[in-house]
């Protein structure tokens, strides 16, 4: 089974090179393709956050991991499955991140803290609802907390 | 530009029919396809929650909305853009939900509260890290809160 998707838009920002950390201050616009009108984004500005689903388009096929590996190749952290980490070299190359909504202008959505480089194809935008966040306390291993130290 | 994806697994649960509400108690297994080994899920059980990205495979192409509509066709709620709501009849038919991890058994992940029907193709699994949740207070319009009243 193959699923064919078409990007709905593109990320534009100042981050031209793929780097691991320091995404917090980056302002991005998600620009919808010409097949969409501003109606598609109506009302999104009433939410404080949006989840952006995007495609890690710069990933080299040969680097995709389907088993286990050390995150960021850091041997101090345990070798865990690709689905126990959020890195880009993953099957289907999908990214999903919550960003803060700044404003909407026509078919452009301005957000802060989206961890995707300039030119990234966007597959979906969803509003963040409180009820869709974890309804129990979130627990995670120590290595994951360490990895995120300088992320934002 | 077309992006071709292959499901990495399938949702199995007792929910055979698409319904809007009462997902909270549903236990699902996400069963990885035979091209993956149990290594792919190693360490995921150290997280309390996983985000499952899936494909709304039962959606009829003709029902996909790319502009604005009333959520659940409820005229008491404002007409908002498809990207300001999380309904299934959307471009690219992608779903993304956070579910509570119960356990991992080989290539099967047991979760609670995944809002996807039996047979849904899964495109990705990501661990939920505290740092990837909103870093500011979440705000949302009143209609969204009303819509979620009986969801879980």
User: Which domains does chain B carry?
Assistant: 9-147 (2.40.30.70)
Residue A117 has a pLDDT of 96
| pLDDT above 90 (res B69) | yes
Whether the pTM exceeds 0.80: the reply is yes
pLDDT of residue B46: 98
- Between CA A65 and CA A72 the distance in angstroms is 12
Please enumerate in sequence order all residues whose Cβ is within 8 A of that of A110, keeping only pairs 6 or more positions apart, or say none: A27, A28, A29, A101, A102, A103, A104
Residue A94 banded pLDDT, cuts 50, 70, 90: very high
* Residue of A31, A36, A43 best to disrupt the B interface, most CBs of B under 10 A: A43
Nearest-CB residue to B6 (from A1, A53, A113)? A1
For the residues A8-29, what does the mean pLDDT come to?
92
CA A42 vs CA A28, A79, B4, B23: distances in Å: 19, 44, 29, 28
| Out of A37, A43, A96, closest to residue B80 by CB | A43
- What distance in Å separates residue A59's CA from the closest CA in chain B? 13
How distant is the Cα of A96 from the closest Cα of chain B, in angstroms? 8
Query: pLDDT at position B18, please?
Result: 83
Q: Which residues of A touch B142 (CB under 8 A)?
A: none
pLDDT category, B139, cuts 50, 70, 90? very high
Lowest mean pLDDT among A17-21, A42-46, A108-112, A136-140: A17-21
Give the pLDDT confidence of B24-64 residue by residue, as tens digits.
889 999 999 999 999 999 999 999 999 999 999 999 999 99
Question: How far is residue A44 from each of residues A109, A115, B41, B54, B79, measured CA to CA in Å?
Answer: 9, 20, 35, 22, 11
Rounded distance, CA B125 to CA B44, Å? 10
Test the A interface: residue of B83, B91, B121, B152 with most A CBs within 10 Å: B83
The distance of A39 to chain B (nearest Cα, Å) reads 5
List b or e across A120-138, with b for residues whose CB sees 16 or more CB atoms inside 10 angstroms. bbbbbbbbbbbebbbeeeb
Secondary structure (3-state) at B86: coil
The DSSP annotation for chain A comes to: --EEE---EEEE-S--S--SS--TT-EEEEEEPTT--GGGGTTGGGSSEEEEEEE-TT--GGG--SSEEEGGG-TTS-EEEGGGS--SSSGGGEEEEEEEEEEEETTEEEEE-----TTPEEEEEEE--GGGS-SS-----HHHHHHTTTT-
Of A37, A82, A92, the CB nearest to B123: A92
CB distance B85 to A127 below 8 Å: yes
Query: Which residue of A43, A48, A152 is in closest CB contact with B138?
Result: A48
Whether the per-residue pLDDT at B20 is higher than 90: the answer is: no
pLDDT over 90 (residue B8)? yes
Inter-chain contact A127–B85, Cβ cutoff 8 Å?
Answer: yes
Q: Is the pLDDT confidence value at B94 over 90? A: yes
Q: Which residues of A touch B54 (CB under 8 A)?
A: none
- pLDDT-derived band at A150 (thresholds 50, 70, 90) equals very high
**CA B21 – CA B149 distance, rounded (Å):** 9
Q: Which of A84, A100, A109, A148 to mutate to test the interface with B (most CBs of B within 10 A)?
A: A84
Contact at 8 Å (CB) between A3 and B7?
yes
What DSSP line would sit under A81-125, residue for residue? EGGGS--SSSGGGEEEEEEEEEEEETTEEEEE-----TTPEEEEE
Residues of B in contact with A42 (CB under 8 A): 68, 79-81, 84
ipTM reported for the complex, 2 dp: 0.96
Strand partners, A143: none
Which residue from A94, A110, A137 is spatially nearest to A44, judged by alpha carbons?
A110
- The whole-angstrom separation of Cα B69 and Cα B81 is 6
What average pLDDT does this structure show over A81-96? 98
Considering only alpha carbons, which residue of chain A is nearest residue B136? A100
Across B98-118, average pLDDT: 97
Q: Which among B1, B3, B7, B5 has a CA at the least distance from the CA of B121?
A: B7
Measured distance CA(A19)–CA(A29) in Å, rounded: 19
Two tokens, residue A120: 């990234």
Query: Residue A58: how many CB atoms within 10 A of its CB?
Result: 12
Helices marked H in chain B? 142-147
Q: Tell me whether residues A129 and B86 touch, CB distance under 8 A.
A: yes
Contact across the interface for A133 and B131, Cβ inside 8 Å? no
Average pLDDT, chain A: 96
């Amino acid at each position: 089974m193959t699923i064919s998707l078409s990007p709905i838009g593109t990320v534009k920002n100042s981050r031209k090179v793929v780097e691991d950390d320091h995404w917090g201050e980056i302002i991005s616009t998600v620009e919808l393709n010409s097949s969409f009108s501003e109606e598609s984004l109506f009302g999104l500005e009433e939410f404080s956050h949006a989840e952006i689903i995007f495609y890690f388009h710069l990933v080299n096929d040969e680097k995709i991991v389907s088993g286990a590996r050390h995150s960021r190749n850091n041997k101090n952290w345990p070798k865990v499955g690709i689905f126990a980490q959020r890195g880009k070299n993953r099957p289907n190359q999908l990214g999903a991140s919550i960003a803060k909504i700044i404003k909407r202008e026509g078919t452009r959505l301005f957000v802060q803290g989206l961890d995707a480089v300039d030119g990234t194809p966007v597959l979906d935008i969803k509003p963040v609802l409180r009820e869709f966040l974890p309804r129990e306390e979130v627990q995670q291993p120590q290595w994951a907390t360490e990895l995120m130290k300088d992320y934002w």
